[in-house]
Amino acid sequence: MKNLLLQFVVLLCTTALCVANYEHEHTATYWNDQAQARLQKQLLRRTNTGVAKNVILFLGDGMSIPTLTAARTHLGQRNGNAGEETELSFEKFPYVGLSKTYCVDKQVADSACSATAYLGGVKANKDTVGVTAAVKRGDCDAMNDVSNHVQSVAHYSQLKNKRTGIVTTTRVTHASPAGVYAHTAERDWESDTDVTLAGKNPKTCLDSTVQLVHGETGKKLNVIFGGGRRKFLPMFETDEDGKMGNRLDNRNLINEWKQLKANTTHAYVSDRNSLLNIADGTEYSLGLFDNGHMSYNLERDSNKQPSLEEMTIKAIELLSNGKEGFFLFVEGGLIDKAHHDNKARLALDETIEFHKAIEAAVKMTNETDTLILVTADHAHTMTLNGNENRGHDVLGLGGLAVDLLQYTTLSYGTGPGYKPNKDGRRHDVSKDDLTSNDYGYPTIAPLLSATHGGDDVGIFASGPWSHLITSVVEQNLIAHVINFASCTGERTTACEN
């Protein structure tokens, strides 16, 4: 019923009913006044050179610039407006830059090498996490050489007695969150089974889950919220949903985490209600809400799985109890997953959920002492095509091509959305159900999973030293800005400056 209502609202915006919403834009006065108001706001802006007691890094996985444009438009249309004029919460931040996301060895980044860059300050090879480019993919010996390890901003925050945490809608051992705590030559080594299948020894090539529970940085994380229970549990042992574990070593790493925290106030939770009821004074919290990745918001059982916004709110509440401040990493990971399947409707909704989490964080913190950064690890190949009128459903048809067949406003460069026709003509998308959450938007080249995009991604910043985020920069600068602003790390900081 909720989806039908949203579709009805968007349908209204494709008619003349939405025109009335921007008739006031027909005058020069409107645009001049709007620009002058923004100019005055810019003139009143003062740089904040205080110390960032708290830092929150929001990562929209695969959140390209076109994704932002389409998501803000879709959000506005959900609310009965034309949509194009809408702003996402973080688009109101005072400082914006662009991040160059390539890996050391690849033109287009993955979530592993990019996590090492924005969390560790060092660019790396594709598919490696928390190590320098001296480590090639799958090289266990090089990965175990500590001289090749790249420490994250969370690690340096812990050295300053700050509380630290990760929140994600993917598995907590997936590539992006692993950048907080892991050092591995292969992003897919999330359990000992994964290492064994790669022909390596899991006793020497430690998987990411073991590093999360027992590693130098992982074991000190105060908050861990996301999915991925199977990477913690033995094969043939079932989780709370009756699904099997993935480990061959017969270790239950959830129980090991509990044992390590036995002398502290701690909580392990596996559903939404338990998350919301974690006591405020709890020092360590582990929340695993799915056997694998968490469900898309539009498919989520809200009685079992919390939203990204709810996990973020709880994490900030728990981390704020630390006297020295905190560092929190929050990933909207399913934006990327939906894009890989060319499921644009799901990708845009996940971006809107990401926007809600950031909006909540802004309300809970103070920009005088909290640095909030919002960025993406890499882009995707989704694009917006013309030439429909203002207010036209961004998830709908885009117009008629010279072959007299319709095209969609959104389409992809690669992926499973490719639909061949036996007669050699282009597929007729007007016959498709574009209102389905599972609809795969058209692509140029057929692939089982869409590739990432190589275009630059945005960085949005608010709080102490946020003015350092300007122009086009290498992605690894982000970690250096965080360390500088929060007086952590091994290089020059705001405190020394």
Residues 474, 416, single domain; the answer is: no
Residues 86, 193, single domain; the answer is: yes
Ranges 32-46, 54-68, 217-231, 272-286: which has the least confidence: 32-46
Q: Would residue 223 count as lying in a domain?
A: yes
Give the helix, strand, coil percentages of the chain, each rounded to 5: 35, 20, 45
Q: Does the pLDDT of residue 164 top 70, yes or no?
A: yes
pLDDT of 420: 85
* 350-375 pLDDT, tens digit each: 999 999 999 999 999 999 999 999 99
Sheet holding 54-60, edge to edge: 266-269, 284-288, 223-227, 163-171, 326-332, 54-60, 370-375, 457-462, 95-100, 471-474
Q: pLDDT category, 496, cuts 50, 70, 90?
A: confident
Residues 256, 405, single domain; the answer is: no
The answer to whether the annotation marks 214 as part of a ligand binding site is no
Burial 98-108 (b: 16+ CB within 10 A, else e): bbbbbbbeeeb
Q: Does the pLDDT of residue 385 top 90, yes or no?
A: yes
pLDDT of 9: 45
Catalytic residue list = 111
Q: Does the pLDDT of residue 195 top 90, yes or no?
A: yes
Q: What is the mean pLDDT of the chain?
A: 94
The answer to whether the annotation marks 145 as part of a ligand binding site is no
Return the beta strands (E) in 44-176 as ranges: 54-60, 95-100, 163-171
Q: Would residue 324 count as lying in a domain?
A: yes
Residues 376, 425, single domain; the answer is: no
Q: Does the pLDDT of residue 447 top 80, yes or no?
A: yes
Backbone angles phi, psi at 89, to 5 degrees: -55, -45
Q: Would residue 44 count as lying in a domain?
A: no
CB 473 within 8 A of CB 99: yes
Strand partners, 379: 453
Q: Does the pLDDT of residue 49 top 60, yes or no?
A: yes
Residues 300, 182, single domain; the answer is: yes
Q: pLDDT category, 11, cuts 50, 70, 90?
A: very low
Q: Tell me the C-alpha distance between 63 and 357, whole Å.
A: 15
Amino acid at 141: D
Q: Tell me the C-alpha distance between 489 and 52, whole Å.
A: 13
* 252-298 pLDDT, tens digit each: 999 999 999 999 999 999 999 999 999 999 999 999 999 999 999 99
pLDDT of 22: 73
Task: Mention every residue, 6+ apart, whose C-beta is less than 8 A from residue 42.
Answer: none
pLDDT of 20: 47
Could you give the residue ranges of the DSSP H alpha helices within 261-394? Answer: 272-276, 308-319, 334-340, 344-364
The answer to whether the annotation marks 340 as part of a ligand binding site is yes
Residues 421, 482, single domain; the answer is: no
The answer to whether the annotation marks 293 as part of a ligand binding site is no
The answer to whether the annotation marks 377 as part of a ligand binding site is yes
pLDDT of 422: 74
* 386-406 pLDDT, tens digit each: 888 999 999 999 999 999 999
Task: Mention every residue, 6+ apart, whose C-beta is less than 8 A from residue 309.
Answer: 353, 356, 357, 359, 360
Sign of CA dihedral 161, 166, 171, 173: negative
Q: Name the helix (H) or strand (E) containing 119.
A: helix 111-120
Q: pLDDT category, 5, cuts 50, 70, 90?
A: very low
The answer to whether the annotation marks 455 as part of a ligand binding site is no
Instruction: State the burial class of residue 28 (Cβ atoms within 10 Å of its Cβ: 0-12, 13-18, 19+).
Output: exposed
Residues 428, 339, single domain; the answer is: no
Q: Would residue 9 count as lying in a domain?
A: no
CA angle at 214 for the pair 213 and 218, rounded to the nearest 5°: 60
Ranges 30-44, 63-77, 444-458: which has the least confidence: 30-44
Q: How many CB atoms neighbour CB 385 within 10 A?
A: 13
Span 325-329, mean pLDDT?
A: 98
Residues 377, 430, single domain; the answer is: no
Span 86-99, mean pLDDT?
A: 97
Q: Does the pLDDT of residue 8 top 80, yes or no?
A: no
Q: Would residue 119 count as lying in a domain?
A: yes
Q: Would residue 318 count as lying in a domain?
A: yes
pLDDT of 4: 45
Residues 446, 464, single domain; the answer is: no
Q: Would residue 193 count as lying in a domain?
A: yes
Q: Does the pLDDT of residue 6 top 70, yes or no?
A: no
Residue 132's alpha-carbon distances to 150, 424, 480, 490, in angstroms, are: 6, 48, 16, 17
Sign of CA dihedral 17, 20, 22, 28: positive
The answer to whether the annotation marks 336 as part of a ligand binding site is yes
Q: How many domains is the chain partitioned into structurally?
A: 2
Backbone angles phi, psi at 165, to 5 degrees: -160, 160
pLDDT of 211: 98
Residues 464, 417, single domain; the answer is: no
User: Which is more confident, 281 or 23?
Assistant: 281
Residue-range definition of the domain harbouring residue 58: 54-381+456-486
Residues 90, 239, single domain; the answer is: yes
Q: Tell me the C-alpha distance between 294 and 350, whole Å.
A: 12
Span 427-439, mean pLDDT?
A: 96
Q: Does the pLDDT of residue 445 top 80, yes or no?
A: yes
Q: pLDDT category, 21, cuts 50, 70, 90?
A: low
* 108-147 pLDDT, tens digit each: 999 999 999 999 999 999 999 999 999 999 999 999 999 9
Task: Mention every residue, 6+ apart, whose C-beta is less than 8 A from residue 290.
Answer: 227, 228, 229, 241, 305
Q: Would residue 42 count as lying in a domain?
A: no
Q: Tell me the C-alpha distance between 488 and 482, whole Å.
A: 8
Residues 202, 311, single domain; the answer is: yes
